[in-house]
Every structure is written in structure tokens, then in C-alpha cells.
Structure 1
């Protein structure tokens, strides 16, 4: 803040932030409300203006609201999306000043000291804010004063501008709730006859401090500027992008890779400082004719090791047509994930890194989603004992846990001839005549009745491990409810 310049603060309150956000994307005529489940009851979370005119209010039971207003339309609330939208508004508000903070869950606070003259004065600045927010379909109430507390009080209970030299005139008529006090404190003050900020300012401080503690006096002093209250702006997220402008155009593969290596070193330093790793990187090569060519690399795991990332660009860079030359190279980490520093052991084999590098290399050619691995699943049904997942987006699972050995190869059940509940002595399978040498079992497996699977609706199965004289080791099962024998797997 400049010496001798009076501080000026703007408070923006969006009383219907959540509903305005939804209605901007899906306009609805008539009463509308967002609902949120609280304490096992579905309650109104945010309403539009029409619903408020019908007598509905926040916290009201949704069933009661429908009884009062049968035409009420509703959707489930999404507080996470609302908070994300508030952050977007915070970035928009930096057009007025760089010092913008959050008044969660539905407000912003701006320190416009020294910036109002850029918009023609304070009144013109507030008029511009209201015009732009109204055009965006957002209801807002705005207050401007010399302190954060006074600006908040005006935005929530009066609106307008408080002159720097007469704060009491602007705040005096406002209720004590404008000081951001707890509800029980406001009720207790009203019982004492202290209904407005003016009444509270004129009362003796010592008895109030003894009865309500220092918090009440602190809020009063913050509103009148006798005690400072800071505005903490959110730091801009780090930008993981670097670029290099070349004095002379280059077109050779080695020159482009050498420049990419230097950019990677700089980018990995940024990632290391933030304890982050890149998952997707984009290399943009701008030619002298102003056309650009891009090379994208997707990694199987978050990574910030330049030596391991650089070879992955070779194939893409080799396919780029340099034209009359490349004069600018830009490298950006498009997707970044946390990668905290970890202790490196002297006994580490590095095999996990080698596997990740292999998956990244193969994925660069055929797509990471097409490099898959088998993972164990929690099911005793043979067909459901595993799942298939992309190797880049999953970690290796633990060993399969089964009370009995399972065959390495599984296939759809194939019927064979046989009668009785024990494996047949001789049977024909895949045009081969086989003779049973030894049979181990049975292992009875019942269907998972809670899942819909027509192949297992028939009932239980009795599985046998059968070794044949011809060397085949098969997995057979018998269905008692509908007598028959089937082969479903083969052991190695």
C-alpha cells in the first residue's frame, strides 16, 4: 500500500451462487432449488429468486417445499463444483486489482487501494462490476469501505459505499449480525437491547468483553479499522511451461533434440521444486512460416527425470516436417501429478522404473490405454477372479489368493461325455481321446447370487483337477443339478 493512501476494500457476495451456476448452463423458468442431503434428510441448499418469492428458504425440508410449492423444480447440489466456480470468479475479479481473496463459501474480497481511478472512480468501478455480473446471470451484492469487515457488512446487509471519514454513519444502522458474529452472540446482544452496530459502539466495552470474550470487541474494531485484518490472495498455480527462441532456424533432428534436452532440464527443475511429476508433456515446434507441429508424450507414471523422458520424444520429433526451419520450441507439462521426494535405498533394483519406462515407450506407439495388465479381483468365481486394467493407471496387485490351485489357462466351458459324479475314466476332448490317470477333488463353487450372471444361474459346480495318461492336466467340473461334465481350464 502506498504511504498516505487510505485503504479501500470491496466485498462481493453471491447470495445464490450455486443455483446461478446451474441455471447459467440450464435455464429454467419458475421456482428452482438445489437440494443436499443433511442428517439423513434432503433439504434445500440454494434457491433462485422465484423460489424465494414462494416462501421457500434454505435448510427447508424438500418434502415440505414440494408441499408448499408443487411447481418446484430441483437438482442435486454439487458443493465441489460451486467452490471451483468461486475460484473462477476470483480469477475474473483480478481484472480490477491483483489483491483478491476468498470469502467462502460464496463471496470475494478485493483490496482496490490505488486502483479505482483506472475505472473512473469507486462508483464507476462498482457499476462496472454489477453490469458484468448481471450480464453473466449472477446475482451479487457489493459493498465498499475502508476495512474488510465494513465492506462485508455493507455487502450482506445494505450495499453501497462507506466514506473513509465517516464509517459510523454507514455502519451504525446495520444489525449486529453484520459484524460476522455467531448466531447465539447476536441473540444475546439483542436481549440486552444492543440491536445495531451503533448501539454496540456506544456501549461500555469492559462489561461486554467480560461477558462475550475478546472476539466481540475484535470484530467491532476490525470493522472500524482499529484492528488490522489482512486479505490473503490465493497464489496462482505454478505454470509448467518453458520455451526457447532460436537465433537461427534449425531443422536437423539432433539440433531439435539438443534444444529439447535443455528445455527438459529446466522443466524438471520446476517440477522438482513443486514436488510434482509430469504425466503428459507437449512439445510444440514453431516453424519460420508460423505453422506449428506438436509432439505429445504420455508417461506411465509421474516423472521428472529428464534423462528418462528425453528418449520418448525421439520418434515424434523424427516424424516432424521442419519445413524451412524451426525458430521456437516450447515444452509444457500438460498434466501434472504429485511426486513427493522419497528416500532412495542402496538395495533398490530399479526394476519398477524399468517397467514404467517400457510401458511408456510402448504406449507412445500404440497408446497407454492399450498396454494392459491383469489384476486379482475379490471373487471365488473363476471367470471373475481377475480384472484387466491399463498398466499406466494401475499398480501391480498382490498375489492371487485361492484355497486350491488354479489353471494358468481358462476358457469357456467345453462339454465332454461322462456320467456320474466322479470324472470319467475316458473322454474325448478337442478331437483327443484322453484317459484319466489321477483326479483330485471335488472343490464345490456356488454362484454369486447377488450378481446377474446367466452362465452361473444354473447352480453349483464341482471342480476336479484331472491328470491324464497323455500328459494333459485339465480342470473339469460337474453340474449336479443338470448332470454333465465340462472342461474349463488347463494347468501348465
Structure 2
């Protein structure tokens, strides 16, 4: 058996502007990437590495990897090793106090570094016991009758005379953590400091699970049941959604801050809970050797999501490809944060793919609605008489009779034409059968070419 004991120290923890430390469960999830045997023992995170240390290049190399991969960069991480968990924990306590370890291990360890002896330090000192070895030398029967079996069992475990028992940490399938606020929050933005700690824990869970967050719920518990004569719900919450799976906590933090800035608390809040609503498998971030592909700044979907939260979902729209041959119906606009809306880049690719047909020459600019053209005899006019150059391309769609088209099919012949003043334009002729009329031919302007 071989154990590693870890501890994190924050000098200015708990201050509004100070760094935050992930929750103890999240620190354990981080350690699970190195060994499956992880447990909390008092103030230290314990890792049993005897079965896996060879995979990391030995004990010294593993300790270097742990210290370099500190999950809380703003905190000072301490680490020690030992043959048993009690020895490793005792050495960690000496290291935190900047005391040297004794030559005789474990007999020379100070008695106050043994958790089981802390309740009896004063009496043991009167008996002349200052170290683990002094207590271990006492008669077993008398020691057990006077101080209980816990102290004797701890000493046996420290010397390797009995097996150790620990509650090993496991990684949950769904992230959900709750913590108590350091003080009652009067406004929603005050929740952000504690939410940062939960987000730090979420990042460790996402990395351990190889998942990306798509939707999160931040919920807070109201400290009052009734306010100004109005019954209050026990909780309030906000939901944060992203267009693509992400492990970027800076982006999620900005989205959550925007949400909370627009939220009003019904009453002071006392507890905070964060849980995942939707996650997707994480494929990792792709990189490129080309400098133009590694530009700094936010990506397009991150900017769209942040604007949607700030301005409102209905104010920021993204394109969504539609299965329709009519040009004006190939693309619809939906709120960017709608859960069924594709990301902006993906939606644009889908729209382009839907519009790509081998025999079609589509213009780069389409009118929102087709413009009916005047006629010069049998020839359509737009800033002069139009001269048809390419066509026809026949489109027959809408025969299923959707409500927006009033049940009428669209039967059209498209042409590329030239206008004396406007240049190349895209026009179509509505075939008489499309309106179930007799003889009348209508021409419409659909788009322009550069």
C-alpha cells in the first residue's frame, strides 16, 4: 500500500473578490483520473496509488503530475506520501506547520498529528506520551479500557497490522451540487460568487465524464415563505442554455451573470444549487497550425448566446434550414437559444446545403417577398424590359396545402434575366395552374445577382 495526501490552502478564501475553491466532491472527481481509490480523511484528500503508480512513471513522477495539474490554481496545494493513510496524513500536517518529519517513522510522529488521539492529548501528555511510539508502547488492554478501541485500532492501522477501511468516492452520472451561501443574498448578482464555486466543480465533473454542458439550472432557496402578504415559492431558478456542448466555464459564467442581472429575487436567498439539464459527449477542441484559424476572442455562437440573454430570446434570431423547394421557404428564423435551433454556423451550412442543386443558379440576395412585375405585352419589366438569359428551372412545391399558403401549390418557372438598369435578376413565372385560374400569367422578381 502507498498513499498520497493532498490539501489546498486559500489565504483569502471567503472574500467577495478572493479566489474560490471547488467543492470537496469535485476535488475528489479530479483525483479519480489518477486512481480509482480516492477518499476524504479529515481535511485531506487521500489517494491510494500502489496499483497504478507504475502507469504514471513511478511515485515521484506521479506526485509531480498531481502538483502540476492543480485543479485550484489560485490555491496552494500541499502533498505528502506515506506507507499508510495515517502516516501520509500526519506528514501532511507537519508539512503545513513547516515542521520536519522525524527520522523514526511512524513512531517519532507527534501525537497531535493522529486524529484518534486528539481527544486525549492532555491526559496522554500527563502520562509522558508525546509521540505515536510512546502510546503504542503502553499495554494494549489498559490502553483500550482507558481510551477506547479507536485509538488502539488507529495505531495498528498506522503500523500496517490491520487493514484500513475507507468510503471510496465515485463519479455521479448527473452533476448536482448544493451549498449554503456565506450570507443571505439580497439581489441576484450576489449569487454569482458562490455560483463560481459550483461552476468550478462542474468543470471537473465534465472533464471526468468527457461531456459538454448544453443546459444548466441554477436554483436558490428563498429564506422567507411569505413577503408583503404574498405566499412565496420555496425556490427560484434560472436556466442557461448553449448552442453547442461546452466545457468553457468563462463562457458559462458570462451567460449566468447576464441571466442573474435581469432577475429579481422574491426574497433573500440562503442556499444555491446547480445541476445539469442536458449534456452531450465531448469531442474536444480542434486546433489548427494556420495562424488565421487560431484567432482570439469569442466564437460566433458564444456572442449570439450572450446577446440573446442580454436582449431577450426573441430579439436575436438565427437561420434554420427547412425542407422546402420554394426559395423563400428554404430558411426560417428562430430564437438563437431555442433548444431545437441549430447553432448559427451549423444552421448556415444546412441552409447552404438545402439550396445547392446541380441545375440551379441561385442569386446571393433574395427579396423577403417576391415582387410582382409589370408587363410590356408578354414580356415582364423591371427598370426596363427584361431579357431572359437562362431557364426555365421548374419548381412544384406546396401541394400538401400548408396553412400559410392557403392550400395553394407553388408551380413556377425560374429564369435568369437581364435588366437594362438593375443588371442580372432572378425572376419566375407563375404557371396558371398554380392559382387554378384561366389564362392569366404573372411574373415576379425573386432576387438579385451581384
Task: Report the TM-score range of the alignment, normalised by the length of the smaller protein.
Answer: 0.3 to 0.5
Higher relative CO (CA 8 A, sep ≥ 6), structure 1 or 2? Answer: 2
TM-score by length of 2: 0.46
Q: What is the TM-score with the length of structure 1 in the denominator?
A: 0.42
